[in-house]
Amino acid sequence: MRFVSIFKISGWLLLILFFVACADLERDNPLDPKNPDSYSQTVPLVEAFVNLAHPTPFNAWAIQSLNALSQQFLGKINIVEYHRDLQIDSVFYDDPFNETNQQSFFLQLQNKYVQLWPDVPRALPDVFLNGALARFSGAYDANSLKTQMESAVSELIAQKNDYILEIEKSKENGIVRVTCRVARLGNESAENLRLRVLFVKQAQFENLNLNYVVQMSWPGILINKLKAGSYQSIDGGQIAENRADGVICAIVSEDEQQVFQSQYEKF
């Protein structure tokens, strides 16, 4: 298996969000959007494209390794699994956790990421960190991805971030509705962003724990401009309560190839 691991940006997480109390914060508080020197910490987003129907163990190893990575950086990173169907010649591998109406988005997103790595063809498993800025392709045992990714994740966690996210949820008649509040910190405005909304669910496959299987997505809600010190509340859609355990919102670039910040909210 060939591995690629390059990272070009940094950041990490402190998931304490003070939007509700912003009016009461001291102006030198680093989490106050009105403070021109404000910042948060990045919550890296790990996205894994996998297929559990293929008889080789590589995809299961990848998920095991990411589960271990999640435990090592508990509460500091978000991990999602895009379960993709796979066809090799005339053989079709139908992943038991795929979502038929999501396959097109999964494939398009992976292709966007792979465009920045032309020397490495699309693969399963294929794991990306904060968009296409870091790629880890393949897995040769249950710890290999964790070992490959630890340094890159640590670098991201050590960096400051110009965005902060807060997710609000409401439940009624078995439906969960999500609103994501996005704030721009620091003293510079941002333009041409997108909000990616991923509804996720836990599952079990044989002896393998699947922690964040993507069930439904809103891939790229456009944010034209976000002024420094301001925030926007964005409708993140809804899902049946029995279909998801939580939601991950991420601020991404307009071309969707770079992830700037992410946040998870449990239902």
Q: Render pLDDT for 132-167 as a digit per residue (tens, 0 to 9).
A: 999 998 888 999 999 999 999 999 999 999 999 999
**CA quadruple 90, 60, 98, 48: dihedral positive or negative?**
negative
Q: By the 8 A CB rule, do 180 and 197 touch? A: yes
Domain coverage including residue 252: 162-266
Same domain, 149 and 177: no
Same domain, 234 and 149: no
CA-wise closest residue to 182 among 231, 223, 250: 231
> E strand or H helix at 154, and its extent?
helix 144-157
On whether residue 128 sits in a domain, the answer given is yes
pTM reported for the whole predicted model: 0.86
User: pLDDT class for 24, splitting at 50, 70, 90?
Assistant: very low
CA-wise closest residue to 250 among 205, 217, 206: 217
What percentage of the chain exceeds 90 in pLDDT?
79
CA dihedral 103, 11, 164, 68 (to 10 degrees): 50
CATH number at residue 141: 3.40.30.10
Domain end call among 157, 184, 205 = 157
Same domain, 153 and 52: yes
On whether residue 7 sits in a domain, the answer given is no
Q: What is the tens place of the pLDDT at every residue in 220-237? A: 899 999 999 999 999 999
User: pLDDT class for 20, splitting at 50, 70, 90?
Assistant: very low
What percentage of the chain exceeds 70 in pLDDT?
86
CATH number at residue 178: 2.60.40.10
User: pLDDT class for 120, splitting at 50, 70, 90?
Assistant: confident
Same domain, 49 and 140: yes
Same domain, 94 and 153: yes
